[in-house]
Structure formats: structure tokens, C-alpha cells
Amino acid sequence: MYIVVEGEDPGFDIFVNGRSLARHEDALERLALRLGVKPLIEFFSADENSMSLLIEEGAGDNELLRRLPPPQWYQPADGLATVQALLAALEADPQQLGTEGEQVLSELLQYAQVLRKTLDRKLRWHLAVSWR
């Protein structure tokens, strides 16, 4: 899972690996619901770039691209609320996600940095999924 910021170039690095977050998405969703915040996956929006990657890898067809709705964009403060709640819970007990707890925590910290910069620049964002 990776962050997409609205516009061609937001003026800062938005790269976060996100593979550990993707592997533990189900557990993170349950944790978010338990904490009373919106799960990360609810910030997902399919965009043309991520769907093109899916099709290139043989997991979709070109007709899907023609029917793709416009991407949904979210306010960074909403994403930060989720990320900060997850961070607080995992900092208290990173091993609740097993041996990758520290890696998930690291990726969430990087998400928080990107979302703060997105908020500072008054931009919107969404999550996309890498199919690789």
C-alpha cells in the first residue's frame, strides 16, 4: 500500500514501502475498528496508474480502465487520525502484529510524515495498492 498525493508533483518525497502494512492490513483494520478510527483500507482509491500496473501484470483487462471512476481524494487530517491511533497502540505493544510489528510501526511513522507534509501543503491524498 502506498500514498498517492494529488497533483503531478507535491514537492516532497511521498515514497513509503508499505509492504508490511499491506501484509497486515486485516489485523490493522481490526485494530483501527477497535480504536474507533477509520481503517486505512477505507482511504483506498483505484487510480489509472495503479490499475495500469495491475493490467500489465496480467491481473485485469483494458476494459476495466475504461470503466474506472475518478479517484477519490481524502483530507490528510483524516488519515493522520487513523495513523496516529495505530501508532499509539503499536508503540505500546509492537509485537501484537508478530515479528513484523517493528516494520509496520516504521512504515506508519513514514505515513505520518507524508500526511503531515500533505496537510501543510493543503493537498489531498489516497492509498493505492502495488500489485507487485
Which among 103, 102, 113, 107 is positioned nearest to 76, based on CA atoms?
113
* This prediction's pTM: 0.86
- State phi, psi for 44 to the nearest 5 degrees: -75, 140
**Quick one: pLDDT at residue 64?**
61
Cell numbers linked to 58: 496480467
- State phi, psi for 5 to the nearest 5 degrees: -105, 140
Sorted by where each begins, the domain ranges of the chain are: 2-128
**Quick one: pLDDT at residue 48?**
66
Average pLDDT for runs of 10 along the chain of length 132:
90 92 95 97 80 61 67 96 97 89 95 97 91 58
Question: Whats the size of the chain, residue-wise?
Answer: 132
H or E stretch covering 115: helix 101-120
